[in-house]
């Protein structure tokens, strides 16, 4: 069989033709800011993971519409395409900067700190300007977003003025001259555009970041965002720099595979970071002390009845993939031994994956995206309490036992 031309190359060429036609506004923006600045802005948008919140599944890029349920109502991400009516097309650089680094939107409207402007206040003038250039070069989308379904009094945006007084000190990232350039670059990404603390830092009662629990883990949307400091026991102590890099770049390393909210971070953001930035972030995170100060629980003895029953359930239902030693299989089955989400004070993530199951992230570098089956239908709340208690106290893990009531609460919170 012979072909005059490959059908695939024709199709690819046809697609390229469509994609390569720049929009009028993009053309103007290139002319206004230049290609180099727009390209730098594209990378800032990747570092900042704008798409994770501002692109809804199946929706136009950056057109917003993603819902975030909070205890006081829903916040819906806004349209940040350069559409002049429904997006941010009319924003000047100065207004864009105020939104990014001060939380003040168009017309002086106060933004909710779901938009992590406290972190973005660490960003440099140059990065803000580059990001502005890139956003203005994107395809405008007419999606009209009502971004606020909060309950009274939280629906009154001026309330954020008070919030800001308590929780927000706009402050550019201050490089530490005693540290390497690499460490400082990592710090800038983690504290600034990467806004890692938005999920991984403990929160005060007003949902501000708790400075004493900086990067030491928190509960968010029924997952544990684990401690990502260099703390030997509670944090990333067991992970070498290379493990952190592999996790951020591919979604998987020899210990773990990303699931929960971190999947979006990897898919839309960190897998596209430069190797230099990945290394810098790893260096910075490893240097962070685990400052939570909470004492670790002592492991339950093997003779505990919950441990005995849990061990038998583990053997029958878990060991096929996670193995008797809890170490799993690199790249396929996460290690339970020493895992931050397993040893976390709250068993939120473990209960989440046992009850509802989970599909891990799939990236071009690690495309399998293995799934944990839901065991919620086959295991009773009591069975799950015992097996999770066992997993949290076997293989060198130490964490508080889990009660049947905790499982029932988690089940009720997760069940669709």
Measured from the CB of residue 377, what is the shortest distance to other proteins in angstroms?
4
- Establish if 374 lies at the interface with other proteins (CB under 8 A): yes
- Establish if 19 lies at the interface with other proteins (CB under 8 A): no
200 in a known ligand binding site:
yes
Binding range to other proteins, per CB under 8 A, among 80-88, 232-240, 356-364, 396-404: 356-364
Residue 222 DSSP class:
T
Distance separating alpha carbons of residues 150 and 75, to the nearest angstrom: 7
Write the Ramachandran bin of 296: left for phi over 0, alpha for psi from -120 to 50, otherwise beta: beta
53 in a known ligand binding site:
yes
Residue 60 is encoded by which pair of tokens?
């136009």
54 in a known ligand binding site:
yes
- Establish if 369 lies at the interface with other proteins (CB under 8 A): yes
Binding range to other proteins, per CB under 8 A, among 150-158, 176-184, 276-284, 354-362: 354-362
Q: What are phi and psi of 372, to 5 degrees?
A: -95, 125
By 3-state DSSP, what share of the chain in percent is helix, strand and coil, each rounded to 5?
45, 5, 50
Residues 175-234 that bind other proteins (CB under 8 A): none
- Establish if 377 lies at the interface with other proteins (CB under 8 A): yes
Long-range residue pairs from 244-248, CB within 8 A, at least 24 positions apart, any chain: 244/278, 244/281, 244/282, 244/285, 244/286, 245/275, 245/278, 245/279, 245/282, 248/273, 248/278, 248/281, 248/282
- Establish if 414 lies at the interface with other proteins (CB under 8 A): yes
- Establish if 35 lies at the interface with other proteins (CB under 8 A): no
Residue 263 DSSP class:
H
Contact 161, 110 (CB under 8 A): yes
Measured from the CB of residue 354, what is the shortest distance to other proteins in angstroms?
11
- Establish if 355 lies at the interface with other proteins (CB under 8 A): yes
The residues that touch other proteins, with contacts defined as CB under 8 A, are 5, 7-8, 10-11, 13-15, 305-306, 308-309, 312-313, 316-317, 319-321, 323-324, 355-359, 369, 371, 373-379, 383, 386, 414-416
Binding residues for heme c: 50, 53-54, 196, 199-200, 318, 321-322
């Amino acid at each position: 069989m012979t072909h005059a031309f490959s059908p695939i190359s024709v199709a690819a060429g046809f697609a390229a033709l469509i994609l390569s036609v720049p929009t009028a506004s993009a053309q103007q923006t290139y002319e206004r800011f230049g290609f180099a600045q727009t390209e730098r802005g594209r990378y800032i948008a990747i570092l900042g993971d704008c798409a994770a919140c501002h692109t809804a599944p199946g929706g136009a890029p950056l057109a917003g519409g993603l819902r975030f349920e909070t205890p006081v109502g829903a916040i819906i991400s806004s349209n940040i395409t350069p559409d002049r009516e429904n997006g941010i097309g009319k924003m000047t650089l100065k207004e864009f900067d105020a939104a990014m680094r001060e939380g003040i939107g168009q017309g002086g409207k106060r933004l909710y700190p779901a938009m992590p402007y406290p972190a973005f206040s660490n960003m440099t003038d140059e990065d803000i300007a580059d990001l502005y250039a890139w956003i203005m070069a994107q395809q405008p989308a007419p999606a009209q977003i009502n971004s606020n379904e909060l309950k009274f009094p939280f629906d009154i945006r001026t309330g954020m003025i008070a919030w800001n007084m308590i929780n927000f000190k706009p402050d550019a990232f201050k490089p530490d001259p005693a540290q390497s350039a690499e460490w400082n670059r990592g710090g800038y990404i983690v504290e600034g555009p990467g806004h890692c603390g938005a999920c991984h830092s403990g929160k005060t009662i007003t949902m501000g970041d708790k400075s004493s629990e900086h990067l030491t883990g928190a509960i968010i949307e029924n997952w544990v965002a684990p401690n990502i400091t260099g703390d030997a026991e509670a944090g990333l102590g067991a992970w070498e720099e290379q493990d952190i890099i592999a996790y951020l770049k591919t979604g998987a390393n020899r210990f773990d595979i990303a699931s929960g909210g971190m999947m979006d971070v990897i898919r839309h953001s960190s897998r596209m970071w430069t190797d230099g930035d990945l290394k810098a972030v790893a260096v910075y995170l490893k240097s962070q002390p685990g400052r939570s100060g909470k004492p670790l629980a002592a492991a339950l003895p093997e003779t505990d009845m919950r441990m005995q029953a849990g061990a038998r359930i583990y053997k029958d239902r878990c060991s096929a993939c996670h193995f008797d030693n809890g170490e799993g299989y690199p790249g396929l089955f996460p290690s339970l031994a020493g895992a931050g989400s397993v040893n976390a004070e709250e068993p939120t993530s473990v209960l989440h994956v046992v009850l509802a199951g989970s599909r891990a992230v799939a990236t071009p570098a690690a495309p399998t995206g293995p799934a944990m089956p839901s065991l919620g239908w086959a295991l009773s709340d009591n069975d799950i309490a015992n097996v999770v208690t066992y997993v949290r106290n076997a293989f060198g893990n130490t964490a508080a036992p889990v009660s049947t009531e905790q499982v029932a609460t988690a089940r009720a919170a997760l069940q669709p």
